[in-house]
Amino acid sequence: MRFLPFIPMAILMGACTQRQAQLDYPEAPCDSTVYEVFGMTVADPYRPLENDTAEATLEWVKAENDLTRRYLDAIPFRSALHDRLDTLNRYARRGAPWKGEDGKFYWSANDGSHNQAIIYRADTPEAEGEVFLDPNSLSDDGTVALTGLFQSNDGKYTAYTISRSGSDWTEIYVMDTATGELLPDHIEWAKFTGASWDADGFYYSAYARPEAGKEFSNANEFHKVYYHRLGTPQSEDKVAYENPDQPLYFHSAEASKDGRMLAISAGGQGVGESVMVKDLTKGGAKWTVIEPSQDFTNAIVSMKDGKVYLFTSVDAPRNRFVMVDPAKPARDNWTEIIPEDPDGGVLTEVHFAGDDRIIAVFDRDASNHAYVYDLSGKLLNEIALSTYGTAAFSADRDSKDVFYTFSSFVYPSAVFSYDLATGESKALYSPEIKGFNPDDYITEQVFYTSADGTRVPMFTVRRKDLTPDGTNPVYLYGYGGFNITLNPSFNPNRLLWLENGGIYAQANLRGGAEYGEEWHQAGTKQQKLNVFNDFIAAAEYMVDRKWTKPELLTIEGGSNGGLLVGATVNLRPDLFRVAIPRVGVMDMMRYHLFTIGWNWASDYGTADDSPEMAKYLLGYSPVHNISNDGTPYPAIMVTTADHDDRVVPAHSFKYAAALQAANTGDAPKLIRIDSKAGHGAGKPVAKVVDEYADIYSFIFKNLGIEPATGK
């Protein structure tokens, strides 16, 4: 890894002068901020950009967007790319049905003409259905997204959660399930929450109302669980659980359907969650701790008859499924139902299906495999899935109706029903995309060797008639963090790349969950270098085997993947022609000071932890390690959004300003700042199409390729 000396870093970052470049970059707000961390001098000249509501920042944002728009709008094929992407995104699709507490079936669907999917309901899952809730009616531009539906246990009421402009802030509304009439109940400033119903109301999680003007940047602390009684104002909601000694914990509540138990999960300072339960039928009952540590994944699958059914990584780095009796909560008393897979598979999903079956999904080399078990954990059969892909199941303990979706890189999400008695799957809905035939494409999995000898998997997708010969453009995507697995999944925007002769490659880097907690830990804190080396090795694999060459290589990643792209470019700028760091974590010295950035410390560590940790972070922090010696960098387009309160836009602002000021060659260094958008979730289709039209236009132009359009 190329660690730059600390004093030169301070000198580099301390320069506020604007270099001469082919593009006339706006002058960023800049000052002489320098601070010390464990005796190390760190310059932070673009600190003013952290104030995203300051007039100088707003002027800079406008100037940057104006420059980026002029550059992109001058690309002659952008309009055609936009039209093709619009066609690819505007296909009819639907989600798996689920059975509501009112006995009706619900599902999401979009005929291709809407920015947001609509919720339908019917008496049977095969019926056409009636509109139950249309999120498109909640805003004029599709920037209000539905994020959850939660029916009361008697089915009489439905709470739904929304996000505005992509923010993590959540609002909760309540409607009469039968009539659709909106009730006066309205919850504001909730976050990371659903609505868990009890007899006459629901539990939800929230922070205190944020300071005006700092709603999307200030650190969030003291997450509490509240109980809202239906028909009362939010001001009368009672605190059901809080931990004033732990301001950085998340708290979520789940009530059992029988009204007997309430569970609280707490996370935020480890890789997992602690779990405690209370018997609501006993007045004054104390909390029973099932798992005190946040060092393990713990997710409640079901609570019934006073027992807790838990998906857990306790004593199982690749996860297992257990039953816990709160009367005997010690780990030694847990009853194991589905053990950790002895063959190396990672348990990722567990559902009860009716009162006598369990469906479990395992990852094997980053691809889903599904199985049916009885209640004792005896394996009954496998649910056949057609190729590398991702399956998501809809099943419930109170119903034998089982549905699932399955998708892969070139197959959009299809809906199936599954018969527990016969073991057969039946297709309910298979979407088609105009002008695209998935049978023309092939997906392969390869394994390559990283710098330290670790074997890393990677998926590649290409046209069947395309022979890799060293002249193929490659789009390499990665993430590598937070115990997240990159399974084969569908994204209609990738199809434009594939149909224009590009190869898509998705590397399953360390830091993810592809092989369990050991794989995750190997990419965290002072092992983070492994993630960057894995990504570099993936690119080198493609070049060494004559699939492509550096002049035709594009890398992209978002959030933690944006950090990946920024760090990798600094390490190996010679290996890529284009880089797209999206909503990335770019200032590793200060990330923990904004919104929920502190929650990422379990993966990253912080500059406050120790001199060794601070030095390690400073050694790869993208904004602090940009070359200034004339080394040519790839063409880079940074993307962020004004309502991103997950990774605040200041990360991208400071990184783009530093790039534009540094001497890294004449390839363009642009930033695209979306408005009324957030970290990515819930983004309306129109905005998605606009964004990818810009991304692909930038990529093709800087690869020197004129795409064939209008297919």
Dump pLDDT digits (tens) for 181-238: 999 999 999 988 999 999 899 999 998 887 777 665 666 789 999 999 999 999 999 9
User: What does the pLDDT read at residue 696?
Assistant: 98
Q: Considering the domain boundaries, does residue 545 fall inside one?
A: yes
- Whether residue 88 contacts residue 99, with contact meaning beta carbons closer than 8 Å, is answered with no
Is 45 buried (19+), middle (13-18) or exposed (0-12) by CB count in 10 A?
A: buried
Q: Considering the domain boundaries, does residue 708 fall inside one?
A: no
Mean pLDDT of 595-618: 94
Tell me: the pLDDT tens digits for 374-383? 999 999 999 9
> Which of helix, strand or coil describes residue 48?
helix
Which helix (H) or strand (E) segment holds residue 499: the answer is helix 492-499
Q: Considering the domain boundaries, does residue 531 fall inside one?
A: yes
Largest CA distance in the chain: 73
User: What does the pLDDT read at residue 143?
Assistant: 79
Tell me: the pLDDT tens digits for 430-467? 999 999 999 999 999 999 999 999 999 999 999 999 98
Confidence of residue 248 (pLDDT cuts 50, 70, 90): confident
Question: What's the predicted TM-score (pTM) here?
Answer: 0.91
Percentage of the chain surpassing pLDDT 90?
83
Token readout for 398 is 């109170």
Q: List the domain range (segments joined by +) for residue 495.
A: 63-86+435-703
Alpha carbons 671 and 655: distance in angstroms, whole number: 9
Q: Considering the domain boundaries, does residue 452 fall inside one?
A: yes
Mean pLDDT of 46-55: 93
Whether residue 59 has pLDDT greater than 90:
yes
Token readout for 697 is 């236009």
User: What does the pLDDT read at residue 216?
Assistant: 59
392 versus 271: the higher-pLDDT residue is 392
Tell me the one-letter amino acid at 328. K
- Whether residue 78 contacts residue 697, with contact meaning beta carbons closer than 8 Å, is answered with yes
Q: Give the CATH number, domain containing residue 545.
A: 3.40.50.1820
Q: Considering the domain boundaries, does residue 26 fall inside one?
A: no
Tell me: the pLDDT tens digits for 94-144? 999 999 999 999 999 999 888 889 999 999 999 999 999 999 999 888 778
680 versus 356: the higher-pLDDT residue is 356
Whether residue 44 has pLDDT greater than 80:
yes
Q: Residue 368 phi/psi, 5° resolution? A: -75, 140
Mean pLDDT of 259-271: 89
Residue 176 CB partners (closer than 8 Å, separation 6+)? 156, 157, 158, 183
Alpha carbons 570 and 554: distance in angstroms, whole number: 15
Whether residue 388 has pLDDT greater than 60:
yes
Beta pairing partners, 352: 358
Give the residue numbers annotated as catalytic, written as ranges: 559, 679
Confidence of residue 645 (pLDDT cuts 50, 70, 90): low
Mean pLDDT of 644-659: 85
* N residues, the chain: 711
Domain count along the chain: 1
Alpha carbons 461 and 503: distance in angstroms, whole number: 6
Q: Is the dihedral of CA 291, 292, 295, 298 positive or negative?
A: positive
User: What does the pLDDT read at residue 15?
Assistant: 57
Distances (CA, A) of 301 to 277, 516, 535: 14, 19, 35
Tell me: the pLDDT tens digits for 489-507? 999 999 999 999 999 999 9
> What is the rounded radius of gyration, in angstroms, for the C-alpha atoms of the chain?
25
Token readout for 325 is 């009796």
DSSP E strands, 345-423: 346-353, 357-364, 367-374, 379-383, 390-396, 399-407, 414-419
Q: Considering the domain boundaries, does residue 649 fall inside one?
A: yes
Q: Is the dihedral of CA 350, 353, 357, 362 positive or negative?
A: negative
Mean pLDDT of 175-182: 97
Please name the residue that has the structure tokens 């690819």: 88
Mean pLDDT of 646-670: 93
CB neighbours (10 Å) of residue 153? 15
Q: Considering the domain boundaries, does residue 8 fall inside one?
A: no
User: What does the pLDDT read at residue 215?
Assistant: 66
Tell me: the pLDDT tens digits for 134-150? 999 998 887 788 999 99
Whether residue 19 has pLDDT greater than 70:
no
Tell me: the pLDDT tens digits for 521-542? 999 999 999 999 999 999 999 9
Whether residue 10 has pLDDT greater than 50:
no
Confidence of residue 22 (pLDDT cuts 50, 70, 90): confident
User: What does the pLDDT read at residue 681?
Assistant: 54
User: What does the pLDDT read at residue 139?
Assistant: 87
Alpha carbons 541 and 539: distance in angstroms, whole number: 5
Alpha carbons 96 and 653: distance in angstroms, whole number: 39
686 versus 448: the higher-pLDDT residue is 448
User: What does the pLDDT read at residue 360?
Assistant: 98
Confidence of residue 1 (pLDDT cuts 50, 70, 90): very low
Token readout for 17 is 């002068």
